[in-house]
């Protein structure tokens, strides 16, 4: 109820603001300023779920302030300040170029909103159709998504904004524990007692390191799972993974590895993979298994190409058949792309690009998509992928604000990735992880609270 009340207030305020400013409140798109050249503004459109057209109008967010009732003290929402209105003059696959009336300087990373322009607007080029394997007929459109009927367990609400959570046997206490990484850099461990969660450990990540994602696996063969927290060092401009042990009910950092580390797979199939840290303008490195031997971590010799995506938006599983694994990843326009054995691709509907987890790297904005989960028999696998829905016109300093999400279950059939089931969730998701029985999804709801939800497979 608090969430719906908050949204109702802000919707009214923003609706009035945009009507006054000349914007049409039907197709507002939230984007980020990534470059400026005089009057020209370059806008990242890769996270949008619609095409941008030449002739649409845009404004840059220049400030915001809280609106409060002076008599009651009640906070009524945020009021935004904007730049002068500009027009989109060029559209590319992953970005758009807008032009402002004057060459006023704006900070790289600022938020902007795009609204439909006049009837002279020219539509952008249509998205490419899914690629087909050699000898296959053209794919038919995917069947309508089916509403899922799966068992769902909601854990108690956590008064934190959780970006990633795992479920594993972390210490000598009976059963599995839940470890959660929050947006402020706290790594917490909870025990489960009926319908309650009891906190037993809290490790604070250094302030100069932005948390990205969390994994858990007993790679050291100690009898208990180790935790792997990926962080972005804002001073060194690099990504590393902190390795922590909690076997004595107290989290201790035992190592730091110079890779982006993420668990892929579910249950007994789960493995830890690693990529070399990104370099601005370069593609991500090959993906390799992380291994532990003779007291140190290293990368296995075998590798596969990730096609430029980080492990939060990547899976590796025998999806096409039982013969060998297929890489599947979230492309920058939001599609899931499955690389087939013949080198071609099968693609999904464009549903999955919107994600709140991003960091600034020099002049670039680096996006990390929610994890893809894959499970089931080889050759008949099921993919679980996140779609986040942006709040209408409500923006934040953290490159985006979201109101809800969906978890889509897809299968590979007849040359396409087909959405077969969909679950609507109340909050948005930074990331997901796979347990032995389901998908663990930390839903961030109003006020920065999180509902840990396990959706059984």
Q: What is the pLDDT of residue 309?
A: 66
Contact 54, 119 (CB under 8 A): no
- The pLDDT-based confidence of 271 (bands split at 50, 70, 90) is very high
For residues 159 and 106, membership in a common domain is answered with no
CATH number of the domain residue 396 falls in: 2.120.10
* Rounded average pLDDT over 113-128: 47
> 179 pLDDT band (50/70/90 cuts)?
very high
* Co-location of 77 and 151 in the same domain: no
What is residue 92's predicted lDDT score, i.e. its pLDDT? Answer: 81
Mean pLDDT of all residues in 360-380: 82
Kindly state the average pLDDT of the residues 137-164.
67
- Please tell me whether residues 226 and 339 are part of one structural domain: yes
Average pLDDT for 53-66: 87
Flag whether 49 is in a domain: yes
pLDDT at position 333 is: 75
Structural domain includes residue 311: yes
Same domain, 214 and 66: no
The answer to whether residue 120 is domain-embedded is no
Mean of the per-residue pLDDT values for the chain?
Answer: 80
Q: Is the CB of residue 57 less than 8 Å from the CB of residue 86?
A: yes
Domain closes at, from 115, 138, 169: 115
Domain contains 26: yes
* Residues 191 and 283 both lie in one domain: yes
Which residues is 81 bridged to in the sheet? 63
What pLDDT does 442 receive? Answer: 95
Establish if 141 belongs to a structural domain.
no
Query: What mean pLDDT do residues 46-71 have?
Result: 82
Residue ending a domain, choose from 96, 115, 134? 115
pLDDT one-digit tens code per residue, 201-243: 999 999 999 999 999 999 999 999 999 999 998 888 888 999 9
Residue 270 and residue 209 in one domain:
yes
CA distance 307 to 330: 10
Domain end residue (candidates: 76, 100, 115): 115
CA dihedral 350, 352, 357, 358 (to 10 degrees): -20
Q: Could you tell me the pLDDT band of residue 21, with boundaries at 50, 70 and 90?
A: very low
Other beta carbons less than 10 A from residue 85's beta carbon:
17
Q: Is residue 125 part of a domain?
A: no
pLDDT class of 64 with cuts at 50, 70, 90: confident
As a whole number of Å, the end-to-end CA separation of the chain is: 29
Q: 111 with 150, same domain? A: no
* Domain extent for 79: 2-115
Whether 406 shows a pLDDT value over 80: the answer reads yes
**CATH number assigned to the domain comprising residue 85:** 2.40.10.410
pLDDT more than 90, % of the chain = 41
Q: What pLDDT does 409 receive?
A: 94
Q: Is the pLDDT of residue 159 over 90?
A: yes
Same domain, 444 and 302: yes
The tokens describing 425, both together, are 């969730």
Give the per-residue pLDDT at 278: 65
Q: How far is CA 122 from CA 41, 222, 281, 328, in A?
A: 19, 61, 30, 33
Does residue 235 share a domain with residue 109?
no
CA-wise closest residue to 444 among 380, 370, 379: 370
Query: Rounded to the nearest 10 degrees, how much is the dihedral formed by the CA atoms of 393, 422, 2, 197?
Result: -130
Give residue 116's pLDDT band: very low, low, confident or very high (50, 70, 90).
Answer: low
Side by side, the strands of the sheet bearing 162-168 are 162-168, 177-182, 186-193, 196-204
For position 49, what pLDDT does the model report? Answer: 64
Residue 277 lies in a domain: yes
**Does residue 149 have a pLDDT over 70?**
no
Q: What total number of domains does the chain contain? A: 2
User: What is the predicted pLDDT for the residue at 134?
Assistant: 34
Q: Which of the four pLDDT bands, split at 50, 70 and 90, describes residue 267?
A: confident
- Cα separation, 357 vs 348, in Å, equals 22
Residue 3 has a pLDDT of 33
If you count them, how many residues does the chain have?
457
pLDDT at 391: 66
pLDDT value of residue 234:
83
Q: Are residues 111 and 158 in the same domain?
A: no
The pTM of the whole model exceeds 0.75:
no
284 and 414 fall within a common domain: yes
pLDDT tens figures, 373-393: 999 998 889 999 999 887 654
**Does 153 reside within a domain?**
yes
- 170 with 111, same domain: the answer is no
């Amino acid at each position: 109820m608090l969430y719906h009340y908050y949204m109702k207030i802000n919707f009214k305020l923003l609706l009035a603001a945009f009507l006054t400013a000349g914007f049409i409140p039907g197709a507002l798109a939230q984007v980020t300023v990534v470059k400026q050249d005089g009057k020209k503004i370059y806008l990242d459109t890769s996270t949008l779920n619609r095409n941008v057209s030449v002739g649409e109008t845009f404004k840059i967010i220049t400030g915001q302030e809280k609106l409060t009732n002076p008599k009651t003290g009640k906070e009524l929402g945020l009021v935004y300040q904007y730049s002068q209105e500009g027009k989109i003059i060029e559209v590319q696959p992953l970005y758009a170029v807008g032009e402002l009336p004057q060459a006023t300087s704006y900070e790289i990373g600022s938020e902007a909103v795009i609204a439909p322009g006049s009837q002279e607007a020219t539509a952008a080029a249509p998205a490419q159709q899914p690629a087909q394997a050699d000898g296959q007929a053209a794919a038919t459109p995917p069947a309508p998504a089916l509403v899922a009927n799966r068992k769902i367990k909601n854990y108690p609400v956590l008064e934190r904004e959780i970006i990633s959570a795992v479920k594993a046997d972390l210490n000598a206490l009976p059963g599995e524990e839940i470890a959660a990484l929050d947006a402020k850099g706290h790594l917490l461990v909870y025990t489960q007692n009926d319908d309650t969660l009891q906190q037993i450990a809290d490790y604070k990540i250094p302030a100069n390191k932005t948390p990205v994602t969390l994994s858990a696996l007993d790679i050291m063969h100690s009898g208990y799972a180790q935790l792997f927290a990926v962080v972005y060092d804002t001073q060194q401009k690099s990504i590393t993974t902190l390795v922590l042990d909690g076997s004595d009910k107290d989290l201790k950092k035992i190592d730091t590895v110079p890779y982006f580390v993420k668990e892929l797979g579910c249950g007994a199939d789960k493995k830890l993979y690693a990529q070399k840290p990104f370099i601005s303008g370069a593609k991500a490195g090959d993906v390799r298994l992380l291994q532990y031997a003779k007291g140190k971590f290293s990368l296995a010799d075998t590798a596969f190409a990730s096609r430029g995506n980080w492990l939060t938006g990547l899976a590796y599983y025998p999806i096409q058949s039982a013969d060998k694994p297929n890489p599947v990843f979230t492309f920058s326009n939001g599609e899931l792309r499955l690389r087939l054995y013949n080198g071609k691709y099968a693609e999904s509907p464009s549903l999955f690009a919107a994600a709140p987890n991003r960091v600034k790297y020099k002049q670039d904005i680096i996006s990390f998509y929610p994890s893809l989960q894959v499970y089931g028999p080889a050759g008949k696998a099921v993919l679980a992928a996140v779609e986040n829905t942006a709040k209408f016109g409500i923006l934040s300093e953290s490159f985006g604000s979201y109101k809800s999400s969906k978890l889509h279950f897809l299968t590979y059939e007849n040359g396409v990735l087909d959405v077969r089931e969909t679950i609507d969730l109340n909050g948005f998701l930074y990331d997901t992880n796979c347990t032995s029985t389901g998908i663990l999804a930390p839903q961030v709801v109003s006020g920065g609270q999180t509902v840990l939800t396990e959706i059984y497979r």
